[in-house]
């Protein structure tokens, strides 16, 4: 769009959106053992990647690239089955996996390197702005508001920031933001108290956001960036691997780098504990993230599943996704994913069942039992507490699973423990009578 810079008038076709699929997702292992991080299930029926894609669509940004490289087959399948725009919208969701080229055969070395390796793909799509998002975060944000601020302030780069307490600063890039919302400095994951002395949020932000005055808060980068196209291309001419610790600190002294304040809920689903707590919070009467907002629904694959069937079950404080079959079980403060099967006498407490990809036929189930395997789902008189059961797992009858009294991290024969939670992996088998 001619003359867009310095004007609040812009078109969604001035913007392309990049969603970074991340690396191997080792902190989410074993959920990422056979899938890319953005393809990890969320809220019983979604995938993590559905969040940034849905937010972009609601902001009228429909030219979306997803950059990925690890275990990307399930992500590709989900995108192909979920997001199809009509021929007249000019919208698309395209996956760009790391690949060999004449310039080399390298995995993405970081966030900036992933974008650098794909610049040639973006060049054929007219644009002036590049919105960069992460594929593993849970939040709501109006990207049009971010773009309007960016254009109105004549920014070269805008970074979305959110306040965090001092106990969390070591996990984020922390910025110092002036009253005009210009970013003055950036410190990547500070661990020394002396580095925080001049980084605490001050008025007018403390008053405007009603932050606790007696507890220091700090501006954390959310990893959401809006670049001017030419500035991005210039910034990536070097070989720096990451935006956070490499590219952005170098741009701050000589470019107009501004902060966009996001004061609402925002969670980085980067660890097993964060994934577990974000999902279980959805079971609360007033969850921090609202999937029930009919004005801005979160999109995902349409599966056309039947309603859940619940017979004589005691269910409290839980979410049950469609297509589940639950018989005479007790479910307390748990999330039950699509097509889950829970047999009589089972007790499920503070647990995530990620569901199943298909229904097991009676013939298939009998054949599995003939081989000494439990049926797919949760068996009779089984107890699960503080557990994540990944898709298509078989948990037998009279099984007892709890993380209590066990190390925070360990590997077992049919399970893993990470961040103090027991995880039954995708397609895992827990034999009848097993105690974990």
User: How do residues 309-331 score in pLDDT, each as one tens digit?
Assistant: 999 999 999 999 999 999 999 99
Query: What are φ and ψ of residue 301, in 5° steps?
Result: -70, 135
Average pLDDT value for the chain: 92
Residues 6+ apart with CB under 8 A from 80: none
* pLDDT at position 198 over 70: yes
User: How do residues 400-416 score in pLDDT, each as one tens digit?
Assistant: 999 999 999 999 999 99
Q: Give the angle subtended at the CA of 71 by the CAs of 159 and 338, to the nearest 5°.
A: 90
Q: Distance between CA 19 and CA 55 in Å, rounded?
A: 12
Confidence at 352, pLDDT banded by 50, 70, 90: very high
Confidence at 8, pLDDT banded by 50, 70, 90: low
Confidence at 12, pLDDT banded by 50, 70, 90: confident
H/E segment holding residue 78: helix 73-82
Least confident of 59-68, 151-160, 208-217, 355-364: 208-217
Question: Model-level pTM?
Answer: 0.93
Longest dimension (CA), the chain: 71
Confidence at 6, pLDDT banded by 50, 70, 90: very low
CA 300 to chain CA mean position, Å: 14
Structure tokens at 354: 């990620």
Residue whose tokens read 């000589």: 254
* pLDDT at position 102 over 70: no
Q: Distance between CA 45 and CA 51 in Å, rounded?
A: 12
H/E segment holding residue 185: strand 183-188
Confidence at 194, pLDDT banded by 50, 70, 90: confident
pLDDT score at 269: 94
DSSP annotation string for 47-66: ETTHHHHHHHHHTT--EEEE
Q: What is the mean pLDDT of residues 106-119?
A: 86
User: Is 264 in contact with 140 (CB distance < 8 Å)?
Assistant: yes
CA 39 to chain CA mean position, Å: 9
* pLDDT at position 4 over 50: no
Q: What is the mean pLDDT of residues 194-216?
A: 88
pLDDT score at 3: 40
User: How do residues 17-50 score in pLDDT, each as one tens digit?
Assistant: 999 987 777 899 999 998 989 999 999 999 999 9
Structure tokens at 66: 């997803």
User: How do residues 368-403 score in pLDDT, each as one tens digit?
Assistant: 888 989 999 999 999 999 999 999 999 999 999 999
Q: Distance between CA 127 and CA 404 in Å, rounded?
A: 53
3-state percent breakdown (helix, strand, coil) of the chain, nearest 5: 20, 30, 50
Q: Give the angle subtended at the CA of 14 by the CAs of 72 and 145, to the nearest 5°.
A: 90
Query: What are φ and ψ of residue 136, in 5° steps?
Result: -135, 45
Q: Give 255: exposed, middle or buried? Use CB within 10 Å, 0-12, 13-18, 19+.
A: middle
- β-pairing, 416-418 vs 421-424, is antiparallel
């Amino acid at each position: 769009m001619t003359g867009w810079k310095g004007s609040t008038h812009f078109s969604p076709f001035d913007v392309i959106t990049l969603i970074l699929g991340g690396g191997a997702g080792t902190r989410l292992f074993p959920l990422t053992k056979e899938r890319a991080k953005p393809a990890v299930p969320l809220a019983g029926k979604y995938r993590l990647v559905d969040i940034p894609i849905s937010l972009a669509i609601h902001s009228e940004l429909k030219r979306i690239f997803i950059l990925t490289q690890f275990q990307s087959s399930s992500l590709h399948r989900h995108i192909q089955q979920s997001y199809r725009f009509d021929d007249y919208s000019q919208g698309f969701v395209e996956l760009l996996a790391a690949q060999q080229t004449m310039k080399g055969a390298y995995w993405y070395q970081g966030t900036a390197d992933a974008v650098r390796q794909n610049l040639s793909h973006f060049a054929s799509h007219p644009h002036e702005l590049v919105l960069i998002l992460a594929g593993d975060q849970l939040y709501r944000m109006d990207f049009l508001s971010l773009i309007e601020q960016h254009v109105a302030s004549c920014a070269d780069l805008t970074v979305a920031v959110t306040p965090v307490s001092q106990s969390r600063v070591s996990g984020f890039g922390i910025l110092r933001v002036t009253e005009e919302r210009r970013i003055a400095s950036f410190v990547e994951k500070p661990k020394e108290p002396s580095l925080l002395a001049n980084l605490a949020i001050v008025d007018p932000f403390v008053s405007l956001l009603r932050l606790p005055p007696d507890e220091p808060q700090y501006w954390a980068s959310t990893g959401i960036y809006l670049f001017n196209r030419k500035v991005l291309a210039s910034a990536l001419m070097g070989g720096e691997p990451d935006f956070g610790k490499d590219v952005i600190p170098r741009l701050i002294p000589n470019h107009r780098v501004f902060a966009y304040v996001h004061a609402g809920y925002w969670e980085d689903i980067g660890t097993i504990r964060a994934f577990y707590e974000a999902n279980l919070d959805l079971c609360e009467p007033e969850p921090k993230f609202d999937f029930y907002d009919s004005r801005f629904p979160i999109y995902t694959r349409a599966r056309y599943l039947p309603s859940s069937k619940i017979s004589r079950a005691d269910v409290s404080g839980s979410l049950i996704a469609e297509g589940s079959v639950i018989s005479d079980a007790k479910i307390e403060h748990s999330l039950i994913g699509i097509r889950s099967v829970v047999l009589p006498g089972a007790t499920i407490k503070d647990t995530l069942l990620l569901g199943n990809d298909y229904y097991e036929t009676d013939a298939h189930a009998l054949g599995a039992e003939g081989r000494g395997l439990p049926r797919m789902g949760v068996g009779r008189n089984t107890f699960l507490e503080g557990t994540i059961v990944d898709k298509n797992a078989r948990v037998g009858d009279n099984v007892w699973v709890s993380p209590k009294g066990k190390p925070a991290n360990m590997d077992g024969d049919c399970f893993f423990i990470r961040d103090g939670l027991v995880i039954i992996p995708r397609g895992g088998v827990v034999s009848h009578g097993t105690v974990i």
